[in-house]
Amino acid sequence: MEGPPRRKPSLAESANYQGNATLLMLERIAHPKIRKQIVDTKVAIEEMWEPPETREAIEKDLDEHIHIAATKTRISHDDSHPTTNTIPLKWTMHGQRPSIQQLSVVEAHEKGHLIRPYGLYGDFFKKGFDSAACSVDESRL
């Protein structure tokens, strides 16, 4: 027996989500439409290389990376910056220890790089951005 349909959260609720950000990311990536977008993007990128990976190989690789992101969180006991490979327990943001929610978002962000390693494909993506039109206010970070 299936329960009532889930109510779609409002934009404000979604933007201010207080649960585990990694679990939310994994839930979103499991959605068939989002999964297809990830695979389609990687297929388009692969078409730039010789020989390109097959769609099946790309899907298998995606599944392996999702499994790693869902089952492993490597930690270190130093104060280095978080990376795709490691979340350091003594890392600070602007001289302060991040909250549990901030660490959750950082973990999801870094695991997102593992699942979607688009940083490796800068030439593909930079065509869509005018970096000269961007400015960063460090005080707002």
Tokens describing residue 132: 């000269």
User: Tokens 């999801």 belong to which residue?
Assistant: 108
Rounded to an integer, what distance in angstroms lies between the CA atom of residue 101 and that of residue 36?
29
- SS3 call for 3: coil
Q: What is the DSSP letter of 94?
A: T
> Cβ contacts of residue 90 below 8 Å, gap of 6+?
77, 78, 79
Q: How far is CA 76 from the centre of its chain?
A: 20
pLDDT tens figures, 7-42: 777 777 777 788 899 999 999 999 999 999 999 999
pLDDT at 81 over 80: yes
Q: What are the sequence ranges of the domains in the chain?
A: 19-117
Helix (H, G, I), strand (E, B) or coil at 8: coil
pLDDT at 3 over 70: no
pLDDT surpassing 90 at residue 56: yes
pTM given for the model: 0.76
